[in-house]
Structure 1
Amino acid sequence: AKEWMELDHLVIVCGHYKGIDERFIDLMQPEEVSIGDFVLTGGEVPAMAIADSIVRLLPDVVGGYASVEEDSFYDGLLDCPRYTRPRDVRGLEPPSVLLGGNHAKIDAWRKRMALDATRRKRPDLLEKRGPGL
């Protein structure tokens, strides 16, 4: 999405049912994109997902760019766990580090948990990042 955001224009061609005519692909040589390993009835929903992922990066679309930089995948990792109010939900509370007010410790916890989540759920993302984690 970051690369597409920089373009002057972007055309998303949506396949329907069985896809797009191969002659179009041969003639136009488009960048082909998949949003996952599943089949939908048409490309409209994936096109909307792609458009939304781009638009939210534009200034003033979300609260602030800092919140975009904390999103999943922005730095190639899944997101860390998130906690909201109330503090106690059926005896479950957020980790104490999140309640302590030490922003350096909170940032370190978030990075560690994002890395752990990525290792468990999407190790392929770590392979794309290369060595050095």
Structure 2
Amino acid sequence: MKDIFAAINADQAAIVSGDAPDLPPLLIGKLFRELGRAELTVCPAEDGGAVAMAAKLPFPGWAAPDLDAEDPVKELRAQAPGRRLVATTPGWHRVRTSGDLNRLDPGLEGWENTRALLGATAR
């Protein structure tokens, strides 16, 4: 993951899990807001893992994040030289199983495209 951030010419960057198609832009904004006091920010997934993460750049050398770790916040805080270097935002959900599809909001912009894509992969 560090390689992804290394290629970005910016002061901050975020990465969003591909299985969170309905993540509200407000939560992405909160990731960046928390970078005012921390080097990394994590939006935890409700069922373990992380939905998204943002970091100050260059990416902190002490961090080895894993969005699929059971408790990525705990792991990152254990890696950090100081607990306050890792902040969190409110959590969200990821679409990992067919049962998780019920959590998607059909009123969301792009829902028809999401449904078509999900239907094509289910065949």
Between structures 1 and 2, the one with greater strand share: 2
Q: Which has the larger radius of gyration?
A: 1
TM-score range, shorter chain: under 0.3
Between structures 1 and 2, the one with greater helix share: 1
> What TM-score comes out, normalization by structure 2 length?
0.25
Which structure has more RCO (C-alpha within 8 Å, separation ≥ 6)? 2
